[in-house]
Amino acid sequence: MTKKDSGIAFLIMILAELVASGITLLLSHLNIVTGMPVLLALVMNQLIILVPILVFLKIKKIPLREVLNLRRIRIPTILLCIVYTGFCAPSIIFANLLTMMFAGNTAAQLGSQMVGVPAVFIVLIIGVLAPLNEEFLMRGVFNTGMRSTGRVLASAVMTGFCFGVLHLNLNQFSYAMIIGIMMVLANEAADSIFPSVIFHMCVNVVNSIVMVNNQNMLAESGGDVMEVLKPIAEQSGVTVQMLMVSMIVVYGILAVFGIAMAVLLLLGIAGVEGRFKEYTAGYKFTGEKKESLWSVWLIIAVVLGIGVMIVQLF
């Protein structure tokens, strides 16, 4: 798997995501995507992206074992990964709140359409199925090609950036990028894809449970979080904007502390897995000229994805 392969694969993902989004938009205009069909649409979207990538790997004769590092991790590492996710959470919330000042909360809008859907299905599809598929695609297929350049940190940043772009909206881009970077760093620490799977599932399961608990409220507001916050702001004697700014400041401070602790946990994970020296060596500055991660295919994909995000803001 090379960086060129990753670029082509990512372009396929973007095109597939656009097709999936187009189909979902059409169904919503026809009032078909509500309740249970929303979950079916989510499953369909995942398959629309997954199947072409599997075909691509088959054509290129790239075995799954090459893009999936299924190395076992120790039980203490699993626990550290869960704690690591918790320390990364403030930065995720901070990014989410910040972009909500300019764009809607996509997850809340999705939750407003799921009234009446059994909680078990919501948690299963959003909390388990989606993370497994996205980890295979991004931390598996895409990052493997990026990592072939030998650039550990740059590959993590590029994978996180492209993971954000893949969501095709500013709100999810902001925190998906943070999630993407932190997950790759955890995988590097453990030399396995399992840390990112644990991280992603923890985030999505918690979000899906919150979504279930707030279904009626989200439905009444049409998925507009600002409307949900109005009563809270009024009780506090401030405007919604002032409440948002105060939350952004608080979570911004927590994010700085959380990231600092997360870095220490990465070193702990590497230590538990017996990879401390190898892991830290990957981040040492050598002064050598590094191979670029960009390819023509990747540039096309990124420009297309960002273009879609910009159009949605107007």
Q: How confident is the model over 3-12, as pLDDT tens digits?
A: 999 999 999 9
Per-residue CA distances from 32 to 45, 180, 215, 241 (Å): 15, 32, 19, 34
Report the pLDDT value the prediction gives residue 228, as an integer from 0 to 100: 83
Task: Please report, for the chain, the start and end positions of each structural domain, with discontinuous segments joined by +.
Answer: 3-312
d(CA 242, CA 249): 11
What number of residues does the chain have?
314
The predicted-structure confidence for 90-134, as pLDDT tens digits, reads as follows: 999 999 999 998 888 888 888 877 777 888 988 999 999 999 999
Residue 33's pLDDT band (boundaries 50, 70, 90)? low
The predicted-structure confidence for 55-78, as pLDDT tens digits, reads as follows: 999 999 999 999 999 999 999 999
User: What mean pLDDT is predicted for residues 194-205?
Assistant: 97
d(CA 310, CA 314): 7
Average model confidence (pLDDT) across the chain: 91
Contact 147, 282 (CB under 8 A): no
Stronger pLDDT, 89 or 231, i.e. the higher one:
89
Residue 38's pLDDT band (boundaries 50, 70, 90)? confident
d(CA 201, CA 132): 8
Three-state secondary structure along 63-125? CHHHHCCCCCCCHHHHHHHHHHHHHHHHHHHHHHHHHHCCCCCHHHHHHCCCCCCCHHHHHHH
Whether this prediction's pTM lies above 0.85 is answered by: yes
Report the pLDDT value the prediction gives residue 107, as an integer from 0 to 100: 85
Report the pLDDT value the prediction gives residue 114, as an integer from 0 to 100: 79
d(CA 261, CA 105): 28
The two three-digit tokens of residue 38, written as one number: 């929303």
Q: Calculate the dihedral angle through the C-alpha atoms of 230, 235, 240, 245, rounding to the nearest 10 degrees.
A: -140
Amino acid sitting at position 128: V
User: What mean pLDDT is predicted for residues 257-272?
Assistant: 97
Residue 135 has pLDDT above 80, yes or no: yes
The lowest-confidence range among 117-131, 176-190, 220-234 is 220-234
Residue 35 has pLDDT above 60, yes or no: no
Contact 169, 34 (CB under 8 A): no
Query: Among 237, 235, 232, 236, which Cα is nearest to 221's?
Result: 232
